[in-house]
Amino acid sequence: MAPIKAEDFITSIADSLQYISYYHPVDFVRAMTQAYEREKSGAARDAIGQILINSRMCALGKRPICQDTGIVTVFVKLGMNCRFEGDLTIQQLVDEGVTRAYGDPSNPLRKSIVADPAGSRINTKTNAPAVVHVEMVPGDAVEVQIAAKGGGSENKSKMAMLTPADSIVDWVKKTVPAMGAGWCPPGILGIGIGGTIDKAMCLAKQSLMDPIDIDELRARGPANRLEELRLQIFDEVNALGIGAQGLGGLTTVLDVKILDYPTHAASLPVAMIPNCAAARHTHFTLDGSGPAVFTPPSLDEWPQIAGDDSGDARQVNLDGISKEEIASWKAGDTLLLSGKILTGRDAAHRRIQQLLDAGQPLPEGVDFNGRFIYYVGPVDPVGDEVVGPAGPTTSTRMDKYTAMMLGKTGLYGMIGKAERGDATIELIKRHGAVYLMAVGGAAYLVAKAITASRVVAFADLGMEAIYEFEVKDMPVTVAVDAAGEAVHKTGPTFWQQEIAKLRS
């Protein structure tokens, strides 16, 4: 076998990351289309529709499916007889590929990786280093499985050291609702069983690399205990009624993947990692004959879904909006927002808190009085774009700042994804404020509603800076209204009951 050239490996890593940034796996598109066609919840169906519209737009425009272009994870199976040219390590080769992919001027990807995680948390500016797992196997080639995992879904990973007598199904049923909707369901659950707890986590992550095949499994019937467990967990999780984006509906998971490993007689380690609506992963093999080639899927795989059906959506002008108008919105209402909004994520909120605690004014241009904040960290624009893909980040992380923002800045409302905590819902009710939800996994679609963008503060924070966006008909759902009603509570409760009726 010819040695593998370092440049071929680096190029393959970079090309694969660009490829998965804008092409969903075809199996995912098909599964989401089936979920869209059978969904009976209007809110969930609309959310799935937005994800599919966004997916097709990204495939056409070659722009990121989600603004969170992820932390790179690579599983390398290295043949015992495989040889590389040069003296760079596998980690160095992967990191160079990551750096090239995320810095590609034709499709720059958001750099989200910070060093000194327990301290200064300074952005590495390259999205490297990647998390690399290397396994030696027989043969003279190298097989690579690569994924770019968003923080919203990665943060929902769970693990437990069960006893051998415990039920894995019961643990999953109890744990999935506690994960909330920040992982942007519907997606795939990866489960690892056995080994040690660190091995179980690796198994769970690696299982997410497998294609969606739950329908084929059900059609032919399970051949072993793990396949029985997959079907059982799949049915039990969907019966929870959580639905797309946590709004309540028939489909919460598209598939359940499980890998296991022998374990100690006294132990039952279990890990669960959800894959989000971006579902970015692919694999390739190098044998010394050149870099990997990635063939684009046919656009015929995507359904044609009308993107301009606003139904009963209410047009809202945010400029000069009153608390009285906000009070008229009800949980579950669909709004089309126009006007100016400010953005802010974790780092910006910390800076605001530091300034307020020190009795200092906020930077010029940062006035939240009577305004809305959008929890987002956008991708850099290219060409004539005003802004790159700019979907919402998980709002729950900003719960700790909500009392400050509503009580000290005059903020009227917040826009993000997923649910809010009980204490935050009470704060929203007390202040007569509102929380609106944009669809996670529809970042490019959301960006098309942004007509102007400028950085107004904390430019050194990069994607976490405060921007001012001007939006036109930005679609959102009222997730928590001024009376404190929350769709992430009422929706799943209703659909859990409806699903029970359908199955009785």
pLDDT tens for each residue of 106-127: 999 999 999 999 999 999 999 9
Average pLDDT over residues 24-53: 96
Cα–Cα distance for residue pair 413/428, rounded to 1 Å? 8
**Which pLDDT score is estimated for 55?**
96
Average pLDDT over residues 87-103: 97
Write the single-letter amino acid at 372. Answer: F
Asked whether the predicted pLDDT for residue 310 surpasses 60, the reply is no
pTM of structure: 0.93
**Which pLDDT score is estimated for 313?**
87
Return the minimum-mean-pLDDT range out of 70-84, 219-233, 303-317: 303-317
Mean pLDDT of all residues belonging to the chain: 96
Asked whether the predicted pLDDT for residue 307 surpasses 90, the reply is no
Percent of the chain residues past pLDDT 90, beyond the cut = 95
Cα–Cα distance for residue pair 494/488, rounded to 1 Å? 10
Write the single-letter amino acid at 292. Answer: A
- Contact present, 159 and 272 (Cβ < 8 Å): yes
What is the secondary structure of 98-112 as a DSSP string?
Answer: HHHHHT-TTS-----
Average pLDDT over residues 171-180: 96
Asked whether the predicted pLDDT for residue 14 surpasses 90, the reply is yes
Average pLDDT over residues 451-462: 95
**Which pLDDT score is estimated for 328?**
97
pLDDT in tens, 145-173: 999 999 999 999 999 999 999 999 999 99
pLDDT bucket at 502, cuts 50 / 70 / 90: confident
Residue ranges of the alpha helices (H) in 103-194? 151-154, 168-178
Q: Which residues pair with 349 in a beta bridge?
A: none
139 class by beta-carbon count within 10 Å (0-12 exposed, 13-18 middle, 19+ buried)? middle
74: enclosing H helix or E strand: strand 71-79
The torsion angles phi and psi of 58, rounded to 5 degrees, stand at: -70, -40
Average pLDDT over residues 36-51: 95
pLDDT bucket at 312, cuts 50 / 70 / 90: confident
What is the secondary structure of 307-320 as a DSSP string?
Answer: S---TTPEEEE-TT
pLDDT bucket at 503, cuts 50 / 70 / 90: confident
Cα–Cα distance for residue pair 466/443, rounded to 1 Å? 18
pLDDT bucket at 309, cuts 50 / 70 / 90: low
**Which pLDDT score is estimated for 1?**
65
pLDDT in tens, 411-427: 999 999 999 999 999 99
244: enclosing H helix or E strand: none
Q: Which residues pair with 342 in a beta bridge?
A: 373, 468
Helix axes 42-61, 26-38, angle to 10 degrees: 150
pLDDT in tens, 336-385: 999 999 999 999 999 999 999 999 999 999 999 999 999 999 999 999 99
Asked whether the predicted pLDDT for residue 311 surpasses 70, the reply is no
**Which pLDDT score is estimated for 356?**
97
Torsion of CA 351, 130, 127, 440, to 10 degrees: -70
The torsion angles phi and psi of 12, rounded to 5 degrees, stand at: -65, -40
- Using alpha carbons, select from 222, 248, 223, 245 the residue that is nearest to residue 234: 222
pLDDT bucket at 2, cuts 50 / 70 / 90: confident
Cα–Cα distance for residue pair 474/268, rounded to 1 Å? 47
Return the minimum-mean-pLDDT range out of 100-104, 354-358, 500-504: 500-504
